[in-house]
Amino acid sequence: MDTLFECYVPDTRKYAKTMTRFRQFSYPKSKTMLIILSVMLGAFLISSIIMLIFEGSFENLIMAAVFIAFLTILHLVIYRVTVNATIKQMKELSGDNEPEVRYVFTNEKMIMYHSNGGVSDVDLASFKRVYVQKDAIYAESSAKLLYFLPKESFVKGSPEELVKFLSSKGIRVS
């Protein structure tokens, strides 16, 4: 089993934030929900402005502003809670050590070496899709697990070569 790619990921707060941001804003289902919600809020805001112009009614405009503020605050609270829960989970899984994962890619598997001494692997055939972002690669398995591979953390091979390699294995790249 030759190592083709290797990526060392210290799972710190920065990476928990990046992963949460991806899940909330860039993941296809999240994007769809944000677009639908934005269109609905936009329509509500426009109708409130029209009512203000034609009827002089401020109530709907105030209600729209309060509703938008509430949703924004709710989204920020959910983001913060999710980041903190992710960090807590990572620390629990690593035995309260500073959690770290080393991903090693062979021709057939991705092997994960955890800071608590645990080793696990995933067959590359179980990967469904790879998302390429500006600073990271996210590999999604058929079980909907998302593996976070920061581009700056590669110690063997490059992120671009990994994407080409996974694509050659029939994994969709987005």
| Interatomic CA distance for residues 12 and 73, integer angstroms | 25
The answer to whether 87 touches 16, Cβ cutoff 8 Å, is: yes
The answer to whether 159 touches 148, Cβ cutoff 8 Å, is: no
Instruction: Please give the pLDDT value at position 73.
Output: 87
> Domain spans of the chain?
5-10+99-173, 15-93
Tens of each residue's pLDDT in the chain, 174 residues: 688 999 988 766 777 787 777 777 766 666 777 778 888 888 888 888 887 788 877 777 787 788 888 888 888 888 888 888 877 777 776 665 666 788 999 999 999 887 777 888 899 999 999 999 888 898 988 888 888 899 999 999 999 999 999 999 999 998
The answer to whether 130 touches 137, Cβ cutoff 8 Å, is: yes
Positive or negative, the CA dihedral 151, 153, 159, 165 is: negative
Three-point CA angle 18, 23, 25, nearest 5°? 90
Order of strands across the sheet that contains 127-132? 146-150, 136-141, 127-132, 172-173
Region for residue 60 given its phi and psi (left: phi exceeds 0; alpha: psi -120 to 50; beta: otherwise): alpha
What are the beta bridge partners of residue 136? 150
Does the domain at residues 5-10+99-173 carry the CATH identifier 2.30.29.30? yes
Instruction: Please give the pLDDT value at position 61.
Output: 75
Give the chain's length: 174
- Residue 71: alpha-carbon gap to chain centroid: 20
Token pair 């083709």 is at which residue?
4
